[in-house]
Amino acid sequence: MTESESNLPKPGALLQAPLPTLPRAIGVVGATVIVIGTIIGSGIFLVPHNVALEVGGIRSLYLVWIVGGILALAGALSLAELGAAIPEAGGVYVYLREAYGRPIAFLFGWASLLVIDAGSAATLAVAFGIYSATLIPVTALEQKLIGAAVIAILTLINLLGVRKGTAVQAIFTVAKLGGLGIIVGCALYFHRATRPGPVGRLPTAHTTLNSFGIALIGVLWAYQGWHQLSYSAGEIRKPSRNLPLGFLLGTLVVMAAYLIANFAYLRTLSLDVLAKHQRVAAVTMQILVGPQGAAFVSILILCSIFGALNGTLLTSSRVYYAMARDKIFFAWVSKIHTRYRTPASALLVLGGWSTLLALSGTYEQLYTYVVFTMWTFSAAAIFAVIVLRRKMPGLARPYRVIGYPILPLAFVLAAMLIVVNTAVAEPAESAIGLGIVLTGVPLFYLWQRKSARGNPSYAPSSDTAKPGE
């Protein structure tokens, strides 16, 4: 071989230019508001009623919310270790891929698109339409159309840039926290006229381990969404610092907000009254300030739902983008908008499918089916912290979860208890949900075979950035 021949590029080298990546435009404030905004939806306005049905005293009620918050924090800090070490777009999908292999990761992404995250977006959109009806007269069809329009608007906003999506998240996070603050302020200011009377007969006379566990499941639903920041890990500036801080600060703020909101409810309503009314926030404000209070709560819930829906679209779309870059999903879903530097195709896929679910109403049954698998994936993602410590001992970990391995194992145990409880209580639905997820198995191998045929040197692409970039 001559010297000139040795300097020629290797076959295919000119085709292997680095793929464009998403810009790191989210700072610690943006990361924090994503955590807060995706967790706080409608749960804090409804779940306290469900908790009151299962506990026999106020101390037990607060304890359930504290334990739920600690478990959510355990999960969030565990994901923070993984995100700081592997700061890629796709979050949980990436951690499952590295810990258990691409088939398991694909099944998570498939379930996320099919129902889990798209179903969450559809649920929030429909709830937005329903609560709109408390302020303006609209038919059932118009409620669905309002929900679809909200999905379309937020999809467009997030398509126009991650900074715009994060700005919307910040605005509505401040609005919902401010609204909760107003409820607390009213409860403190008007407490003399509305001091709760003696507690009447409670549905559960004494808190038992079983009733505490049932109440905890409801509370964990209210904390659901803490994991979604991980999906945007590839867009966070200095992820080794900002990702753990975002998880920590966001989850702590939500814990504080939930405890303070329950304080406001119990300062106005006795525990037995709390157990009788599902719309506890509306009842509380109606007692405190009259009919205007109920209208205020409806507006607050609309702001809260709007922010949670924005957070879902902003973050979850990155999972399908990551799958496409790994060549196990439609290649065009990995496209980044040339001007706005957003995963536009992935956003349109999520927005479009969520809209169809919201308009059809089928998401309700589908969502019931995947509770079993959703919590299984949650447990697997957190257990990946332990798996990767053994599998990749040399991986740079700028942040390590405190209390290892107790915190990760505590969350895994709680998640698996929910899985077992769901399987026992709803065996048919759990089996159907597992079947829905397993429909992704042949699809995974079809995409993998297609990628291998199209590129004999096929290997999954990576969006990995060095920690701290």
Q: Which residues make Cβ contacts (< 8 Å) with residue 49, sequence separation at least 6?
A: 274, 275, 277, 278, 279, 280
Query: In the prediction, which pLDDT does 302 show?
Result: 92
What percentage of the chain has pLDDT greater than the value 70?
A: 89
Q: Calculate the average pLDDT of the chain.
A: 86
What pLDDT, in 10s, does the model give residues 185-205?
Answer: 998 888 655 555 555 667 776
Peptide bond into 203 cis (omega under 30): no
Contact 141, 373 (CB under 8 A): no
Distances in Å between the Cα of 112 and the Cα atoms of 33, 120, 226, 366, 373 are 22, 9, 15, 12, 10
Domain 24-454 has CATH 1.10.357.20: no
- The angle subtended at Cα 224 by Cα 358 and Cα 423, nearest 5°, is 85
CA-closest candidate to residue 44, choices 17, 73, 69? 69
Q: Please state the rounded mean pLDDT for residues 315-327.
A: 94
Query: In the prediction, which pLDDT does 133 show?
Result: 84
Tokens 């590129």 correspond to 455
First to last CA, the chain: 41
Query: In the prediction, which pLDDT does 4 show?
Result: 41
Tokens 């405890």 correspond to 259
Q: How many CA atoms lie within 13 A of 296 on its CB side?
A: 20
Name the more confident of 86 and 449: 86
Tokens 């949650």 correspond to 378
Name the more confident of 13 and 110: 110
pLDDT over threshold 70, residue 47: yes
CA-closest candidate to residue 35, choices 77, 67, 68? 77
Least confident residue range of 12-26, 158-172, 304-318, 391-405: 12-26
Query: In the prediction, which pLDDT does 200 show?
Result: 61
Query: In the prediction, which pLDDT does 242 show?
Result: 95
pLDDT confidence band for 363 (50 / 70 / 90): low
pLDDT confidence band for 19 (50 / 70 / 90): low
Handedness of CA 69, 288, 307, 47 (dihedral sign): positive
Query: In the prediction, which pLDDT does 197 show?
Result: 56
pLDDT over threshold 60, residue 36: yes
Q: Please state the rounded mean pLDDT for residues 458-463.
A: 47
Q: Please state the rounded mean pLDDT for residues 457-461.
A: 49
pTM given for the model: 0.87
Q: Please state the rounded mean pLDDT for residues 32-39.
A: 95
What is the spatial distance between Cα 442 and Cα 138, in angstroms, rounded to a whole number?
A: 43
What pLDDT, in 10s, does the model give residues 118-132?
Answer: 988 988 898 898 888
Query: In the prediction, which pLDDT does 199 show?
Result: 56
Distances in Å between the Cα of 456 and the Cα atoms of 177, 450, 451, 452, 453 are 53, 10, 8, 5, 6
- b/e for 26-50, b at 16 or more Cβ within 10 A? bebebbbbbbbbbbbbbbbbbbbbb
